[in-house]
Amino acid sequence: METVILPNTDLSVSRFAFGTADCGTRIPTDQALRVFETYRGAGGNFIDTAHCYSAWVPEGLGVSERWVAEAVRRFGRQGLAIATKGGHCAFDGYPRPDAFLAPEVVERDLSESLERLRMDSVDLYYLHRDDPRVPVDEIVDACNRLADSGRVRHLGASNWSAERLLAANRSARSKGLRAFVILQNHWSLLQPNWSSLDAPGDVRYVLDSERERLAEAGIPVAAWAPVRGITELERGSSGSYDTERNRRRLEAARRVAAETGATTTQVALAYLLSQRPTAIPILGTGSETHLREALAAEGLRLTSEQLEALENA
């Protein structure tokens, strides 16, 4: 698998990340370990987890991070880039204070994460959500205190707008502090129909208007749910991807798949791999067959006509 060096870091991460939100819950522990072994065997090294995973399942809080600890125990830490996240807002099964990005809240999240992971430090620590009520300067200072403690090697932001992330990085640079080196947002060929993006704690996808600014700033995007939309729509689900535009894009993906002998999932991933800024899709599969199919998308090069057909559908 190709690797990507995260700008301004010594972190060399594989082109696909391994999402663990469902490991040990929807995906039984041993099955997830088999899929992970296949991922490692293919050269994958970038693990994604979070403090709040998988609190949406009864007894699920902390299961993903503990699963990562078990995977590291079995397969070794050498060469792995381990990312976790903290500072998530409240949801059902995950009570939080209203000020979910308060330094003491994130500090406690990090301590609990490291305990579950059985590690002294993580390679990358993301703030899981943004709270636009908090000035970026305060957030940058608090994140730098975490990094100064030696428990976090590099910083990232998840579900942030490009505008806020770049403002935070300007603030960090002006003070000679560490900046965010990566953004983790939803990004895929299909866009969900979410109505709000800017309220405290909202999830975000990468807007077309943000892509060039992120690319110019050298901020790669770890793309969460890279194929969830296309697989849901293919199954005929009437969820948040069931829009006119997405149905047209799915048809376009089917045409490109027929031309190239690939699957629609591979077309959706190849589309992401061809984008600026650099996209690192985070795969959330519990199936070795689906994992191999996804990884093979790296070898699929779409022509500019095919990319245009997908974008303009």
Q: How long is the chain?
A: 313
Minimum CB separation from ligand NAP for residue 175, in Å? Answer: 27
Q: By C-beta, is 226 or 302 nearer to ligand NAP?
A: 226
- Work out whether 285 is an interface residue with ligand NAP (CB under 6 A): yes
The contact mask relative to ligand NAP for 158-197 (x = CB under 6 A, - = no) is xx------------------------x-------------
Contact 162, 210 (CB under 8 A): yes
- Measure CA 141 to chain center: 23
- Can you tell me the distance from the alpha carbon of 152 to that of 145, in angstroms, rounded to the nearest whole number? 10
- Work out whether 144 is an interface residue with ligand NAP (CB under 6 A): no
- Work out whether 224 is an interface residue with ligand NAP (CB under 6 A): yes
Q: By C-beta, is 184 or 306 nearer to ligand NAP?
A: 184
Q: Which residue in the set 62, 156, 201, 226 belongs to the binding site for ligand NAP (CB under 6 A)? A: 226
Contact 71, 44 (CB under 8 A): no
- Work out whether 287 is an interface residue with ligand NAP (CB under 6 A): yes
Residue 204 φ/ψ, nearest 5 degrees? -135, 150
Q: Which residue in the set 44, 46, 48, 262 belongs to the binding site for ligand NAP (CB under 6 A)? A: 48
Q: Which residue in the set 66, 164, 228, 249 belongs to the binding site for ligand NAP (CB under 6 A)? A: 228
Provide the residue type at 69 as one letter.
A
- Work out whether 19 is an interface residue with ligand NAP (CB under 6 A): yes
Q: Which residue in the set 227, 250, 267, 302 belongs to the binding site for ligand NAP (CB under 6 A)? A: 227
- Can you tell me the distance from the alpha carbon of 304 to that of 203, in angstroms, rounded to the nearest whole number? 30
Stretch that binds ligand NAP, among 14-22, 98-106, 130-138, 147-155 (CB under 6 A): 14-22
- Can you tell me the distance from the alpha carbon of 32 to that of 22, in angstroms, rounded to the nearest whole number? 9
- Work out whether 203 is an interface residue with ligand NAP (CB under 6 A): yes
- Can you tell me the distance from the alpha carbon of 203 to that of 54, in angstroms, rounded to the nearest whole number? 16
Contact 88, 52 (CB under 8 A): yes
Q: Where are the alpha helices (DSSP H) in 118-190?
A: 136-148, 162-174
- Work out whether 39 is an interface residue with ligand NAP (CB under 6 A): no
Contact 264, 250 (CB under 8 A): yes
Minimum CB separation from ligand NAP for residue 95, in Å? Answer: 18
- Can you tell me the distance from the alpha carbon of 187 to that of 304, in angstroms, rounded to the nearest whole number? 20
- Work out whether 284 is an interface residue with ligand NAP (CB under 6 A): yes
Q: By C-beta, is 87 or 284 nearer to ligand NAP?
A: 284
Q: Report the residue number whose CB is nearest to ligand NAP.
A: 284
- Work out whether 201 is an interface residue with ligand NAP (CB under 6 A): no
Q: Which of 160, 159, 167, 182 is nearest to 137 (CA)?
A: 167
DSSP string, 203-240: --B--HHHHHHHHHTT--EEEESTTHHHHHHHTT--ST
Q: CA-based angle 242:246:250, to the nearest 5?
A: 110
Minimum CB separation from ligand NAP for residue 304, in Å? Answer: 25
Q: By C-beta, is 200 or 286 nearer to ligand NAP?
A: 286
Chain residues binding ligand NAP by CB under 6 A are 19-21, 48, 158-159, 184, 203, 224-228, 231, 265, 282-287, 290, 293
